[in-house]
Chain A
Amino acid sequence: MSLDLSQFHAVFFEESFEAVTAIESGLLDIQIDNVDPEMINTIFRAAHSIKGGSATFGFQQVASYTHVMENLLDEVRDGKRAMSQEIVDVLLQSVDALRELLTLAQAGDQMEDGQFAEYKQALDDLMKGKAQGKPKKAAAKKTDTKKAEKASEPVKDIAAEAAVAADSGAASELPDGWRIVLNPHKEMMQRGNDPLRLIRELGTLGKTTVTCDTSLVPDWEHFEPLNSSLSWTVILEGQVAREAVDEVFSWVEDECDLAFIPLTGADLKAKAPQPDDSSEVVVKAEKPAAVEEAVAETESNSPSAASSAAARPKASPPAAAESQSIRVDLHKVDSLINMVGELVITQSMLNVLSDDEMLQGMEKLQQGLGQLQRQTRALQEGVMQIRMLPISFCFNRFPRMVRDLSRQLEKEIELILTGESTEVDKTVIEKINDPLVHLVRNSVDHGIEVMADRVKAGKPEHGSVWLRAYHQVGNIVIEVEDDGKGLDPDLLFAKAVKKGLIAENAQLNQAQIFDLIFAPGFSTKDQATDLSGRGVGMDVVKRNVQALGGGITVDSELGRGTRFTIRLPLTLAIMDGQLAKVGEEIYVVPLVSIIESLQPEASMINVMAGAQETIKLRGQYLPVLRLADAFGVPLSEDERSKPLTEGIVVIVEHEHQRFGIFLDDLLSQQQIVIKSLDENYHTVEGISAATILGDGRVALILDVASLCQLQQKTEAFADAG
């Protein structure tokens, strides 16, 4: 039976990437002067595990690479090599190489030979460098040991001279047969090896004649059940190589006496089972069966064995209380979440019904509906929990990054992680990574000063960067803080003016000034370093965070440090929405993007040259987008041209651009289940997704970012007109 191994690849890659991460974090935790052997063991095991899997599943480069890593770690583990910073550094590099190799292998590709050789060279060099004089165990053993050991080990006490004959005979040409003498030690059976099995296996190599020597079996009184008193002589006919015979006995070399005597055709004719023993029986199965019986008897006769077996309760304590998990395809989870989403909708539909007067008297039904509501909510929370992963999945890479960066910059920086076990939606973890990398890099590169400056400022030489995660009322908060030089408001202001982002006489408070760093095209460092990129930066970070439905703020004190705070919704599948009415349609405005809502007074309204309406709010002119126009909602002419005073203007903000959305009325606020529009329909400008309301109606969710663009287009059009 052949089996398609590719079905195990997904699991292999998943666990291998996890193992790589384990190696990495293990290496980062190592203290050179006080190496924890268990730590080395863990790292070794991870490398070993990747090696075993990759070899089995046919990823040769990964296998040969991890093989060298494993050997290196093995030497450290066995104390043949002292752990050094150099080894840690090389191994950390190899972690990156390994990730690359795995990624390539996962894509069904492999690394170009030249590059692979280069990667491997670093490890090989290290191996050779200090292991000189030490036996290169892996290579040496693989090639020669097996044969060498067997050939040189004088074959047991039965027939030493026969062994010599065997060796010389096997070298050149194959004999016509073998006489094999097998005398098992008692350990052989106690390790689960059955002499019969070996004899049977010899039978697959050629015709066998087996004789069993029972002469040493003692009489009943002296019978010691655990001892082996039988031995066998097997005549194997056919030109069989010594190696093939060896192979049969490879597991039991040390637990039996063996002799291999090559036979010629003439020997075979003479049928060599030397009749020097009166009690020889020529059988195949009978005698060994007796051994098995004896063995069986031992088990049942020995009172201690029997009682201990009986006394042992069937239900032994469940093993390993450590966390147990199963891997599930994300699609399955998502479809489950989807179904629960449907259930939530159905439930809210029923809830609407329960307000119906006709049902007022039916108390039981009301109770049932109440229960259904609670249970649905619990079920929903439970299912959402499945998608949650501890944020350590994302945080784990930072110690390494900070370490590498600070070395490169010759700064001494400690990264302090807190709240790694805070659970976040899987998608959030995937998407928050890049923004966090950027922020942490920023802190390390721009935030923390060089040592000399720190000392001058009276701060400790080594800087600190904190990465924190915690929950706060339905949100997850991630903070990146450093105790570096902080943001200089004057500098930021001057810079923004220079870049033409703000007017020279603009009145901004400190928070607004700090906020400037999120403006597109703003970079505080004149000389872009290759670490923090070329000013492509904070605006992208902010956009990414907003794409996740979150927000980012910055807080800083000059000379003391800077703190970025990212606030994200717990999940991307549910959000808080404000229902709003336009004509007969209901739309959902994401609650996070609403600044305020108001019914404008006539004095606030301005109609500019074209048709663009604005309202003046606290000295600021805000353009207003009529949602009905933007989406072409069918309305009567009266309705269409009704003044802004007769509806509601919802002020929203996107990238510092505030504008108003005009709609008829605001309805309730509620949690809504997000349904992708792309999957079920197609992308619509100004709309991010849809949801189903309690009464079964579909409502579209506004996408403030794209509405902002839409609004700007209208404005441009109006200006042109």
Chain B
Amino acid sequence: MAKILAVDDSASMRQMVSFTLKGAGYQVDEASNGQEALGKAKAGKYDLVITDVNMPVMDGITLIRSLRAEAAYKFTPMLMLTTESAAEKKSEGKSAGATGWIVKPFNPDQLIATIKKVLG
């Protein structure tokens, strides 16, 4: 079963994402900022990373850029959780290596649909 790393500084969002994905049968680990996520990602191998953009310590875009520099994550799908208004964040994220984005607010069904799409 695919392993997903869910990164968000907001505990409620993180729990929601994690709970939803676990319910859909994925294996999910959580991290509360980019730095922590980077540590976890390096220590293990994830099939997909889903991250918030605005976070303390290390933001989501830096996380994606750092992960893309890792051989193990060169082609791993990485999704950003972003808000509609942050158009420039999307392109910034894309150039950092993000696969795509999920626009907040989203509901659990939309989340699962997107993840399924990416993981096939």
Residues facing B in A549-584 (CB within 8 A) are: none
Given A191-B98, A309-B72: A1 in contact with B9 (beta carbons within 8 A): no
Contact present for A193 and B83 (CB under 8 Å): no
A11 to B30, CA, bound (A): 15
A308 to B69, CA, bound (A): 11
- Interface flags for B60-104 (1: CB within 8 Å of A; 0: not) read 000000001001101111100101110100010010011111001
A51 to B15, CA, bound (A): 16
Contact present for B75 and A189 (CB under 8 Å): yes
Q: Is residue B3 contacting chain A, with contact meaning CB distance below 8 A?
A: no
Residues of B within 8 A of A15 (CB): 10-12
Q: Is residue B31 contacting chain A, with contact meaning CB distance below 8 A?
A: yes
Which of these binds chain B: A264-272, A318-326, A352-360, A520-528?
A: A318-326
Q: Could you tell me the distance in whole angstroms from the C-beta of B25 to the nearest C-beta in chain A?
A: 10
Contact present for B54 and A45 (CB under 8 Å): yes
User: A1: which of B10, B23, B38 is its contact (CB, 8 Å)?
Assistant: B23
Contact present for B55 and A45 (CB under 8 Å): yes
User: B75: which of A55, A142, A295 is its contact (CB, 8 Å)?
Assistant: A295
Q: Is residue A634 contacting chain B, with contact meaning CB distance below 8 A?
A: no
Contact present for A2 and B108 (CB under 8 Å): yes
Q: Is the interface of A mostly helix, strand, loop or mixed?
A: helix
Residues of A within 8 A of B97 (CB): 190-192
Contact present for B10 and A201 (CB under 8 Å): no
Q: Is residue B27 contacting chain A, with contact meaning CB distance below 8 A?
A: no
The residue in B38, B55, B117 that gathers the most chain A C-beta atoms within 10 A of its C-beta is B117
User: B57: which of A1, A251, A316, A320 is its contact (CB, 8 Å)?
Assistant: A320
Contact present for A56 and B105 (CB under 8 Å): yes
Residues facing A in B103-117 (CB within 8 A) are: 104-109, 112, 117
Contact present for B98 and A53 (CB under 8 Å): no
Residues of B within 8 A of A57 (CB): 12
Residues of B within 8 A of A49 (CB): 9-10, 13, 54
Contact present for B38 and A319 (CB under 8 Å): yes
Closest 3 CB pairs of A and B: A319-B39, A251-B100, A55-B105
Residues facing A in B33-49 (CB within 8 A) are: 33, 35-40, 42-43
User: A141: which of B16, B31, B85, B94 is its contact (CB, 8 Å)?
Assistant: B85
Closest chain B residue to A19, Cβ basis: B10
Q: Could you tell me the distance in whole angstroms from the C-beta of A175 to the nearest C-beta in chain B?
A: 25
- Interface flags for A300-340 (1: CB within 8 Å of B; 0: not) read 00101110110010111111101000010000000000000
Residues facing B in A257-278 (CB within 8 A) are: none
Q: Could you tell me the distance in whole angstroms from the C-beta of B91 to the nearest C-beta in chain A?
A: 7
Closest chain B residue to A314, Cβ basis: B43
Contact present for B38 and A255 (CB under 8 Å): no
Closest chain A residue to B83, Cβ basis: A52
Q: Could you tell me the distance in whole angstroms from the C-beta of A704 to the nearest C-beta in chain B?
A: 43
Q: Is residue A626 contacting chain B, with contact meaning CB distance below 8 A?
A: no
Closest chain A residue to B98, Cβ basis: A191
Q: Could you tell me the distance in whole angstroms from the C-beta of A1 to the nearest C-beta in chain B?
A: 6
Contact present for A145 and B87 (CB under 8 Å): yes
User: A138: which of B35, B85, B105, B112 is its contact (CB, 8 Å)?
Assistant: B85
Closest chain B residue to A255, Cβ basis: B94
Q: Could you tell me the distance in whole angstroms from the C-beta of A295 to the nearest C-beta in chain B?
A: 6
Closest chain B residue to A55, Cβ basis: B105
Residues facing B in A131-150 (CB within 8 A) are: 137-138, 141-142, 145
Contact present for B42 and A316 (CB under 8 Å): yes
- The total of chain B residues at the interface (CB under 8 A) is 57
Contact present for B39 and A190 (CB under 8 Å): no
A60 to B3, CA, bound (A): 33
Q: Could you tell me the distance in whole angstroms from the C-beta of B29 to the nearest C-beta in chain A?
A: 12
- Interface flags for A640-679 (1: CB within 8 Å of B; 0: not) read 0000000000000000000000000000000000000000
Given A5-B16, A142-B84: A190 in contact with B105 (beta carbons within 8 A): no
Given A57-B12, A252-B100, A316-B42, 17 additional A-B pairs, CB 8 A: A1-B20, A1-B109, A49-B10, A49-B13, A53-B12, A56-B106, A190-B97, A192-B75, A201-B117, A251-B94, A254-B91, A295-B75, A302-B71, A316-B43, A319-B35, A319-B37, A320-B36
Residues facing A in B1-28 (CB within 8 A) are: 9-13, 15-16, 19-20, 23-24
Residues of B within 8 A of A42 (CB): 56
Q: Could you tell me the distance in whole angstroms from the C-beta of A433 to the nearest C-beta in chain B?
A: 25
A-B contact pairs, 25 of them (CB 8 A): A1-B23, A2-B108, A9-B12, A44-B54, A45-B54, A48-B54, A49-B10, A52-B10, A52-B81, A52-B105, A56-B16, A191-B78, A192-B99, A193-B77, A197-B117, A197-B120, A201-B117, A251-B101, A299-B71, A304-B71, A305-B74, A314-B43, A317-B39, A319-B35, A320-B39
Residues of B within 8 A of A470 (CB): none
User: A3: which of B10, B13, B19, B94 is its contact (CB, 8 Å)?
Assistant: B19
Q: Is residue A71 contacting chain B, with contact meaning CB distance below 8 A?
A: yes
Contact present for A1 and B108 (CB under 8 Å): yes
Residues of B within 8 A of A5 (CB): 16, 107-108
Contact present for B24 and A53 (CB under 8 Å): no
Closest chain A residue to B109, Cβ basis: A2
User: B13: which of A56, A250, A302, A319 is its contact (CB, 8 Å)?
Assistant: A56
A295 to B71, CA, bound (A): 12
Residues of B within 8 A of A299 (CB): 71, 74-75
Contact present for A190 and B57 (CB under 8 Å): no
Residues of B within 8 A of A681 (CB): none
Residues facing B in A145-202 (CB within 8 A) are: 145, 189-194, 197, 200-201
Residues of A within 8 A of B55 (CB): 45
- Interface flags for A1-17 (1: CB within 8 Å of B; 0: not) read 11101011101101100
Residues of A within 8 A of B38 (CB): 319
A5 to B112, CA, bound (A): 14
A410 to B69, CA, bound (A): 57
A49 to B9, CA, bound (A): 8
A394 to B99, CA, bound (A): 44
